Chain A
């Protein structure tokens, strides 16, 4: 019983990470209609920035998280402005290719600066709980709680603030939003920054648990895409729910069946679903 409960908690934790990353991805897609391929690489940079700040400057964990968030927010806006914006008029493929270029730059930049070795990341706190037959470190609880709070906060932000309304309007109808006087370029940039910042938080939260390495973004981004395609690209709800479902599924499958072919299974499911419904389960069919 303890093992099952522990696996479920781990699944919820993984789901929290996936949900945050997928949320960032889906927000960006909803507004700019570009699937930000480089999201995984940016996620990775988020972890490394926190790492850098903690180890070189001795900054405490939570402050480092905020620093990383801000840095990646700005980096995201920068990338949107410099790399993606000139490409809106070109076919979508070109945005993909540019993203590939970005990934190469970011991943190899991290590789050059920090080396390929897996790095250990200092924990926020080291208390270990024993309850109901499980052993859980507080870090995992922190991940879940922070993620949930952040997701709720983001939802409130979008529903209750003017900027949030602007974001929603732009994602629903870009021209209409422009007619209403919304600066869609700025909103687009901000949303990109927001999505990237979310990824930074996710990365920093999970870094103490899973080690950090330059290509850590790859598997995460692939899962994130699976999630938003299944949940519907551009759907807030779909990303969050999808994230938790996939997180749980992956953890349960790994524990009870085998870790070897988990990825293959999940991607196989993706390909199958897309074959049947090419716009994803709940997606808007453009």
Chain B
């Protein structure tokens, strides 16, 4: 599997499929991030897309307006996004139950309007153009790794996907991860067992926004142009779909969702508006019949078969 991913750009040539692969990688990072706060901590952050946008704009502006190298701008952009996540998490995570998604949605809309109208800083509705690819990395023997080509960007994104998976898997399996799952299960109960739920939620939220910012930063460097749409709540909905259909609360879920659904989206492109209608319908059906997505369905099927063979 890993081997396939490593050589994929050599096998799948053709600009368009390669482009899709890079985008999928970016969406996978963002979906993994969303899954952390949603699937493992049980909080529906509808401003996730907005933080993606914040990361994208932060990195882009640091490169374009301040002239930093991408390699410096990206971590700074992530840190900035995480910091904003931390700040917004403080008041919003105090809400319980229904209020959190509502508040984050409102927050997302407010920040979207801010980005869309702050012409001086963000270029307003026009957005930003001409963002450069990451600077070439010099190698010991005089050659460089340049990122002008799509396959190069693919490897870059793949690298970060692996980093994200690593970090997330370590977090989820640790004691801290168990605490988050406890919060997801029943916040009051978790508190009564002595877990500091607020701290857990804030940590989870901050980390999730950090990786959302990472995905955003990669997006802006790869695409080269940025518009306010990248911070719109529709983006949050899309990533929600990727996570839900892939499998909420699982490690593989967001990966599956982040790969198959954008591809599905591209295939269905000719259907234009109907594509989203289909996604909406899919979302409702999944929630109703398969709340744990594809991965959940596979697991349930696997358990079913195991039980049947074990009962003999």
Contacts and interface: CB of A to CB of B under 8 A. Distances in A.
Contacts of A93: 38, 42, 44, 101
Interface residues of A, number: 49
A101 B110 contact: no
B104 to A, nearest CB: 9
A67 interface: no
Interface string A265-282: 011101110110011100
Contacts of B103: 270-271, 274
B69 interface: no
Contact of A98 (B97, B101, B279, B284): B284
Interface stretch (A104-112, A167-175, A236-244): A104-112
Interface stretch (A10-18, A82-90, A131-139): A82-90
A96 B236 CA distance: 13
A107 B288 CA distance: 21
B107 A105 contact: no
B272 A112 contact: yes
Interface string B72-103: 00000000000000001011101111110111
Nearest to A111: B273
A92 B101 CA distance: 10
B283 A98 contact: yes
A96 B85 CA distance: 22
A104 B98 contact: no
B287 interface: yes
Contacts of A53: none
A267 B107 contact: yes
A225 B233 CA distance: 16
B109 A102 contact: no
Given A104-B277, A104-B280, A274 B110 contact: no
Interface stretch (A154-162, A181-189, A256-264): A256-264
A104 B101 CA distance: 17
A229 interface: yes
Chain B interface category by residue count: 35 or more
A261 B114 contact: yes
B274 interface: yes
A178 interface: no
A97 B95 contact: no
A166 interface: no
Nearest to B106: A267
A104 B283 contact: yes
B288 A87 contact: yes
Interface string A31-75: 001010100000000000000000000000000000000000000
B208 to A, nearest CB: 15
B291 interface: yes
A112 B95 contact: no
Interface in A105-126: 105-109, 111-112
A260 B244 contact: no
B288 A108 contact: no
Contacts of A100: 237, 240, 280, 283
19 contacts: A87-B288, A93-B44, A94-B291, A103-B280, A104-B276, A108-B274, A112-B274, A219-B109, A222-B109, A225-B102, A225-B105, A229-B102, A233-B98, A263-B109, A267-B107, A271-B92, A271-B103, A272-B91, A278-B96
Nearest 6 A-B pairs (CB), nearest first? A104-B280, A275-B91, A101-B283, A267-B110, A105-B280, A112-B273
Interface of B: 38, 42, 44, 88, 90-92, 94-99, 101-103, 105-107, 109-111, 113-114, 117, 233, 237, 240, 244, 272-277, 279-284, 287-288, 291
Given A111-B273, A275-B91, A275-B94, 4 more contacts: A101-B279, A105-B280, A225-B102, A279-B99
